[in-house]
């Protein structure tokens, strides 16, 4: 088959929530011209990625085909959609298109990595469309939890695709464009070949609530508070920051923003004109002069991040501010799975300070930025696509979303990262499987997820580490005794005897027994020393540590 085809290939975001990166292509098989939608990051955790700073998708497939890449489109400015542009731009080298607010954030990221900000082009929204090889791409405003979020209308010679980006259906989102049903009807009118659709909240059965429902409830809560009120949400959730600030002002309080990300995001919003009428705020220095019952702080750290303002307030102080008995702390946010321990730890620290903590467990002070199941159904109905391809979800979300599409009488196709679909026919068909994975930003270096580096760190964390040093002379005779150093292991083992001494004695005996074949062969000797060290450790302390063996030969 050598006729032109449309392909869809997720490199990230399909099979996980995070590091979104979706490739579309059009042309003859193997020669398609390509575009990339979003280029985001995801975040490490101690369980599986200790010491890692940031996780990026593996874009090797695309980088090898950079001559075919026409453009990169960023749907909105969340880190999981835009966070990797600076890290990867050198390897891709295509122009980046986004709407003004998103472009502003993308440019900051490009500059952070020493790239030209001019590579990022600001695009007007629909009906304007960017031409990129065989594609025409329009940014269709859609409601989400950050300004100027857009779905993409992606026109190919074989018809239109709709890529929703992240979205919810909110007629009164307060910041950013309301969801415009007529607009989406218009976009869908020519027929939609495939809907590539956000799946995050497919398991949430009730229609989503509007951002506008929160203000009065937050105002009431703040109005009843006796001491200082501190609230947190995602810094990028500009609408929420505005909702919180307005509620605070209506409750008669002065508002102070704390945390670099919070101030940077609000500044970006004001500068790009997406945030109007934000209440005037005061500086931390001014805040320090006010009676605490007249004060509301809006701070970073809704996920319990150790260095953010909320965690620092929980531990003591931040920017000169200190929490006191009778203060109120409000999480206007949902805890992302995996962050529970950090958030709960902060809650308990506040409790020790006598601070009342209110979280989202009542469902009163937070609404999600993603479409719940009934709202996903609305999107299916509006676009009425030939096939629904779920994205932005773990496997369980994608699978449930396919089932939902089929329940509603449409075709659905489940594609996870690395699964290339051919969208040309009536059915979405698997065209190819592509190697994908994760790249770690580790300090200043990029490392592969399968390099074994992080695996070794996890093993050291679980098993501890022993260094074994042996010196051999010219005649392969041991000089002195084997020497052991331990890290992350107990000093004494069975019967309260010295663990290091037990190791050294067993290693010494091993060398004493070892023949020339072992003593003259570094690999054999190293293997033997490691085996003995691990066995002795097992006997003495019930663990098998990681072992570094250093053999020095005096020549």
Q: Which residues bind its own copies (CB under 8 A)?
A: 15, 45-48, 50-51, 203, 205, 337-338, 340-341, 344, 347-348, 350-352, 354, 357, 361-362, 394-396, 398-399, 442-445, 447, 451, 453-454, 456-458, 460-465, 467, 469, 471, 479-480, 483, 485, 487-490, 492-494, 541-543, 546, 548, 550, 552, 554
How near is the Cβ of 221 to its own copies at its closest, in Å?
16
3-state SS of 276-337 is CCCCCECCHHHHHHCCHHHEEEEECCCCCCCCCHHHHHHHCEECCEECCCCCEEEECCCCCC
CA angle, 442 then 448 then 450, to 5°: 125
158 class by beta-carbon count within 10 Å (0-12 exposed, 13-18 middle, 19+ buried): middle
Whether the CB-CB separation of 549 and 529 falls below 8 Å is answered with yes
Whether the CB-CB separation of 540 and 493 falls below 8 Å is answered with yes
d(C-alpha 135, C-alpha 133), whole Å: 5
Place of tokens 């609230």: 231
Q: Which residue number, 11 or 202, has a Cβ lying nearer to its own copies?
A: 202
Whether the CB-CB separation of 10 and 36 falls below 8 Å is answered with no
Q: Which residue number, 69 or 468, has a Cβ lying nearer to its own copies?
A: 468
**Nearest to 221, CA basis, from 263, 253, 266, 175:** 253
Q: Which residue number, 30 or 542, has a Cβ lying nearer to its own copies?
A: 542
How near is the Cβ of 543 to its own copies at its closest, in Å?
4
Contacts of 105 (CB under 8 A, 6+ apart): 77, 82, 268
Given strand 465-472, what is the order of strands in its sheet? 483-487, 465-472, 546-553
Whether the CB-CB separation of 222 and 385 falls below 8 Å is answered with no
Token pair of 242, please? 């505005």
Place of tokens 């329940």: 407
How near is the Cβ of 202 to its own copies at its closest, in Å?
12
How near is the Cβ of 338 to its own copies at its closest, in Å?
5
Q: Which residue number, 319 or 463, has a Cβ lying nearer to its own copies?
A: 463
How near is the Cβ of 222 to its own copies at its closest, in Å?
20
Q: How many CA atoms lie within 13 A of 239 on its CB side?
A: 26
How near is the Cβ of 354 to its own copies at its closest, in Å?
8
How near is the Cβ of 417 to its own copies at its closest, in Å?
12
How near is the Cβ of 407 to its own copies at its closest, in Å?
13
Q: Which residue number, 248 or 482, has a Cβ lying nearer to its own copies?
A: 482
Q: Which residue number, 152 or 398, has a Cβ lying nearer to its own copies?
A: 398
Token pair of 86, please? 């600076």
Q: Which residue number, 115 or 399, has a Cβ lying nearer to its own copies?
A: 399
For 23, other C-beta atoms within 10 Å of its C-beta total 21
Q: Which residue number, 191 or 354, has a Cβ lying nearer to its own copies?
A: 354
d(C-alpha 330, C-alpha 219), whole Å: 12
Q: Which residue number, 250 or 544, has a Cβ lying nearer to its own copies?
A: 544
Q: Which residue number, 289 or 444, has a Cβ lying nearer to its own copies?
A: 444
User: Strand 465-472 relative to strand 483-487: parallel, antiparallel, unpaired?
Assistant: antiparallel
Find the largest Cα–Cα distance for the chain.
88
Q: Which residue number, 374 or 443, has a Cβ lying nearer to its own copies?
A: 443
3-state helix, strand, coil in the chain (%, to 5): 35, 25, 40
d(C-alpha 487, C-alpha 208), whole Å: 51
């Amino acid at each position: 088959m050598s006729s032109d085809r449309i392909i869809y290939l997720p490199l990230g975001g399909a099979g996980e929530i995070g590091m979104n990166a979706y490739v579309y292509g059009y042309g003859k098989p193997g020669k398609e011209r390509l575009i990339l939608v979003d280029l985001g990051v995801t975040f490490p955790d101690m369980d599986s990625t200790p010491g890692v700073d940031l996780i990026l998708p593996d874009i090797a497939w695309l980088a090898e085909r950079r001559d075919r890449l026409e453009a990169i489109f960023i749907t909105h400015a969340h880190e999981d959609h835009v966070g990797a542009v600076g890290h990867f731009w050198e390897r891709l080298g295509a122009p980046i298109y986004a709407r003004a607010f998103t472009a502003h954030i993308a440019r900051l990221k490009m500059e952070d990595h020493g790239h030209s900000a001019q590579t990022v082009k600001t695009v007007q929204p629909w009906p304007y469309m960017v031409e990129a090889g065989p594609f025409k791409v329009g940014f269709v405003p859609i409601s989400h939890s950050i300004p100027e979020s857009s779905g993409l209308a992606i026109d190919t010679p074989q018809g239109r695709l709709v890529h929703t980006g992240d979205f919810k259906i909110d007629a009164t989102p307060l910041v950013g464009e309301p969801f415009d049903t007529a607009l989406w009807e218009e976009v869908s009118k020519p027929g939609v070949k495939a809907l590539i659709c956000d799946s995050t909240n497919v398991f949430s059965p009730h229609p989503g609530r509007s951002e506008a429902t929160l203000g009065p409830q937050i105002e009431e809560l703040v109005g009843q508070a006796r001491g200082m009120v501190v609230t947190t949400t995602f810094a990028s959730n500009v609408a929420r920051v505005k909702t919180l600030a307005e509620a605070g002002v209506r409750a008669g309080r002065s508002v102070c923003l704390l945390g670099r990300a919070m101030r940077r995001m609000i500044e970006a919003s004001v500068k790009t004109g997406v945030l109007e009428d934000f209440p005037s705020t005061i500086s931390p220095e001014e805040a320090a002069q006010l009676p605490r019952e007249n004060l509301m702080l809006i701070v970073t750290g809704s996920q319990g991040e150790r260095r953010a303002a909320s965690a620092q307030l929980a531990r003591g102080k931040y920017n000169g501010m200190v929490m006191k008995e009778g203060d109120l702390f409000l999480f206007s946010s949902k805890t992302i799975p995996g962050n529970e321990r950090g958030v709960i730890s902060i809650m308990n620290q506040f409790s020790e300070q006598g601070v009342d903590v209110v979280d989202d467990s009542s469902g009163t002070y937070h609404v999600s930025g993603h479409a719940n199941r009934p709202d996903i159904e609305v999107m299916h109905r509006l676009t009425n696509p030939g096939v629904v391809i779920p994205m932005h979800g773990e496997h369980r979300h994608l699978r449930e979303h396919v089932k939902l599409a089929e329940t509603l009488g449409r075709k659905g196709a489940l594609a996870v990262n690395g699964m290339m679909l051919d969208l040309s026919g009536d059915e979405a068909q698997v065209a190819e499987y592509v190697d994908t994975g994760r790249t770690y930003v580790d300090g200043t270096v990029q490392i592969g997820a399968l390099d074994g580096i992080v695996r070794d760190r996890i093993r050291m964390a679980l098993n501890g580490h022993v260094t074994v040093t042996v010196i051999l002379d010219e005649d392969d005779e041991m000089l002195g005794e084997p020497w052991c150093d331990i890290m992350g292991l107990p000093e004494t083992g069975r019967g309260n005897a010295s663990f290091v001494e037990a190791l050294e004695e067993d290693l010494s005996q091993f060398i004493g027994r070892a023949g020339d074949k072992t003593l003259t062969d570094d690999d054999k000797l190293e293997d033997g020393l490691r085996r003995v060290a691990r066995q002795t450790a097992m006997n003495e302390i019930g663990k098998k540590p990681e072992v570094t063996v250093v053999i020095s030969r005096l020549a």
